Amino acid sequence: MTAGSVAAQGLVRLPVWRARIVLAALVAAFAALLVRAVYLQAVKTDFLQEKGDARYSRVLEMPATRGRITDRHGEALAVSTPVKSIWAIPSDVQLKPTQRKSLARLLGMGTRELERKLAEPEHDFVYLKRQLAPETAEAIAKLALAGIYEQREYRRYYPAGEVTAHLLGFTDVEDVGQEGLELAYEQSLGGRRGSRRVIKDRLGHIVEDVQSIRAAQDGVDLTLSIDSKIQSVAFAALKAAVERHRAKAGALVALNVQTGEVLALANVPSFNPNNRANLTGAELRNRVITDLFEPGSTLKPFTIALALESGKVTPQTTIATAPGRMTLAHYTIRDVHPAAALTVTQVLQKSSNVGAAKLALAMPREALWDFYHRLGFGTAPQLGFPGAAAGRLRAYRSWRPIEQATMAYGHGISLSLIQLARAYTIFALDGELAPLTLVKSELAARGEKLVSAETARAVRAMLEAAVQPGGTGPRARIVGWRVAGKTGTAHKQENGGYAADKYIASFVGLAPVSAPRVIIGVMIDEPAGGYYGGSVAAPVFAEVMQATLRLLGVPHDAPLEPLERPGALDEPREST
């Protein structure tokens, strides 16, 4: 057989050494793969896990539902509504020009702004838009864009808008309290966010729920002492008064005497917490709690109460006030209605500065300071509200006679409206100073006893006389209920002195006199034209008090007969 025939029959043999080389190469390759696999699986486990997690594993935040804020009757004042936020992984985003335009339009931004947000490949997470309406988020989802995802969140909504804005405050884009009660009760309202680990595919779909890292805990609801109906009446009346008198601002607070609850707290100007664009600092200030002012004649009842408590005078004691002025240290104290002599009751009814000053000068200055201090002046009220002001009450050792005299009628001391209204609880509770609360309470207020029941009732009777014809506050009277209260008019402090043509008009009163249920304090800042508390603030008090007593179902203690109102020529005025 020839060599050619052998080759044709496939009987040619390869050299043994070639086969061995091929086998050795294959064995070496498999060995290398095995070593590499062992190395990666055993040594480089963390590295591989990290790379895998970076591509497919995601930790999703599980938002907690923020607790609701309601009024005392359960009406919602602040709720959290579900919204969607759109986010992206920049390195995964690949958009065509038409897709980019469509996405930018739905997000409410320009294409350049969108490109800037997406031009961050080193970041694997970037928000494109927060808190979108669900329908807008759904339209974006229908585009099915790679690298674009949505996340469920919550947005705070305030049904009453500007009516309760200063009391409630607001939250930021993360639904965290920033102002007001939203900030004060953040820990309980906010709850605790949860998180879970999932596996996502390249399209962003969750293909496996790996584990729950932390369960979400929803916030706790907060029930306020506020009555939303009284709040609405108070805000509307205050806003109308500020506009009518072309005033700079106004504030009002209503208190439940029996429980110390704040029934209404209103400020003007206000703001819409659902749309806070272009806000100013003046609009954000809660003037009831944070703004300080000299109370003027609304402080006279306390001077008289201390004088009665000392036993040096009675309501019928006569005070020589002629000729309607007195001079101390080159400073002259004047009365608007000069009289030769006034009883202590008439000093309050006619709002005599001279009479109040003489009563104050007849008492030790430390006794006056101690009484003011125990009333809460110079101390921040314990309301749990951020930024509550303490006011200014100087140490008595630095008082000069003129300062002791002027402090008797509300000059040289500064306090907030809520401090002033709270102090009037001693006349409503027969001498007890009630603690206040912004949270609903069914318990009767238990406060410190500052004066005797006899003294408190005597001053209450004087305050009722002050709103009768001949007093400074007849416009505070209402049909069906007896009212007691005091007007106040004070020059505003400015540049270390007092502005000649800028005033604070105020009124604080209670009703019904026979069994006090409500205290209301009103302050109007810089009214134009008429500026006396009796003509500017007292009518606001009357409107809100009448509505409040009606809403609370308080029994009448006065005839249901029309009241005679003072005319323009009989404008109630008190000394400033």
Q: In the listed set 223, 243, 261, which residue is the last one of a domain according to the structure?
A: 223
SS3 467: coil
Element (H, E) at 374: helix 365-374
Q: Give the pLDDT of residue 18.
A: 78
Among 49-63, 182-196, 303-317, 434-448, the range scoring the smallest mean pLDDT is 49-63
Separation between Cα atoms, residue 410 and residue 575, nearest integer Å? 11
User: Helix H segments across 65-214?
Assistant: 97-107, 111-118, 134-142, 165-168, 180-184, 186-190
Same domain, residue pair 413 and 515? yes
514: CB partners within 8 A, 6+ apart: 482, 557
Residues 207 and 157 in one domain: yes
Residues 6 or more apart whose Cβ sits within 8 Å of residue 414: 292, 293, 294, 391, 392
**Which is more confident, 168 or 198?**
168
Is 474 a domain residue?
yes
CA angle 97–103–105, rounded 5-degree value: 105
The answer to whether residue 575 sits within a structural domain is no
Which tokens sit at 37?
Answer: 């696999």
- For 154-166, b where at least 16 C-beta lie within 10 A, e where not — what string? bbbebebebbbbb
Spatial distance between the Cα atoms of 349 and 104, rounded to a whole number of angstroms? 69
H/E segment holding residue 393:
none
- Number of domains the chain contains: 2
For residues 233 and 217, membership in a common domain is answered with no
Asked whether residue 156 carries a pLDDT value surpassing 70, the answer given is yes
What's the pLDDT score for residue 329? 83
Share of the chain above pLDDT 70, in %: 87
480 DSSP assignment? T
- Residues 345 and 268 reside in one and the same domain: yes
Q: Which residue has the tokens 């509504």?
A: 81
Tell me the two tokens of residue 306: 């201390």
Number of other CB atoms surrounding residue 384 within 10 Å: 12
Q: Is the dihedral of CA 182, 187, 191, 197 positive or negative?
A: positive
Residue 5 lies in a domain: no
Does the N-terminal peptide bond of residue 381 adopt cis geometry, omega within 30 degrees of 0? no
Question: What secondary structure does DSSP assign to 162-175, as a single string?
Answer: GGSHHHH--B-TTS
Query: Over the stretch 286-345, which tens digit does the pLDDT of each residue have?
Result: 999 999 999 999 999 999 999 999 999 999 999 999 999 999 988 899 998 888 999 999
Picking from 192, 223, 254, the residue at the C-terminal end of a domain is: 223
Task: Give the pLDDT of residue 316.
Answer: 96
Reported pTM: 0.83
CA distance 375 to 386: 21
Q: Average pLDDT in the 68-78 region?
A: 96
What is the pairing mode between strands 76-88 and 126-132?
Answer: antiparallel
The answer for residues whose C-beta is within 8 angstroms of residue 318's C-beta and 6 or more apart is 341, 342, 343
Window from 150-154, 353-357, 554-558 with minimum mean pLDDT: 150-154
CATH number at residue 549: 3.40.710.10
Say if 257 falls within a structural domain.
yes
64 DSSP assignment: P
> How many DSSP H helices and E strands does the chain contain?
22, 19
Q: Any residues with CB less than 8 A from the CB of 20 and at least 6 apart, and which? A: none
Mean pLDDT of 197-226: 69
CA separation for the pair 282, 3 (Å, rounded)? 112
3-state secondary structure of 124: coil
Residue 390 domain-assigned? Answer: yes
Direct distance between the N- and C-terminal alpha carbons of the chain, in angstroms, rounded to an integer: 142
**Residue 28: inside a domain:** no
List 225, 270, 297, 351, catalytic entry: 297
The greatest distance separating any two alpha carbons of the chain, rounded to the nearest whole angstrom, comes to 160
| pLDDT tier for residue 500 given thresholds of 50, 70 and 90 | confident
Encoded tokens for 504: 């604070």
Per-residue CA distances from 293 to 166, 190, 219, 494, 510 (Å): 19, 35, 37, 11, 21
206 shares a domain with 275 = no
Top-confidence residue, 560 or 306: 306
pLDDT at 7: 47
Contact predicate 514/461, CB 8 Å: no
Residue 100's domain spans which residues? 59-223
Domain boundary among 205, 223, 241: 223
With b meaning 16 or more CB within 10 Å and e meaning fewer, what string describes 556-574?
eebeeeeeeeeeeeeebbb
Q: In terms of pLDDT, which residue wins out, 13 or 570?
A: 13
Average pLDDT for 410-419: 95
Does residue 410 form part of some domain?
yes
Q: What does the pLDDT average to over 188-211?
A: 63
Tell whether 233 and 115 lie within a shared domain: no
pLDDT of residue 194: 66
Cα separations in angstroms, 245 against 480, 504, 524, 537, 550: 28, 12, 9, 10, 27
Give the three-state DSSP class for 570. helix
Task: Identify whether residues 415 and 280 lie together within a single domain.
Answer: yes
In the residue annotation, 297 being an active-site residue is answered as: yes
Total residue count of the chain as it appears in this document: 576
Q: Are residues 355 and 209 in the same domain?
A: no
Q: Do 239 and 187 have their domain in common?
A: no
Domain membership flag for residue 74? yes
Q: What angle do CA 367, 397, 333 make, to 5 degrees?
A: 75
Whether residue 142 is found in the same domain as residue 238: no
Same domain, 367 and 412: yes
- Round the average pLDDT of the chain to a whole number and report it: 87
Please indicate, yes or no, whether residues 268 and 146 belong to a single structural domain of this protein.
no
> What CATH number did the domain enclosing 89 receive?
3.90.1310.10
Q: How many CA atoms lie within 13 A of 445 on its CB side?
A: 28
pLDDT interval class at 214 (50, 70, 90): low
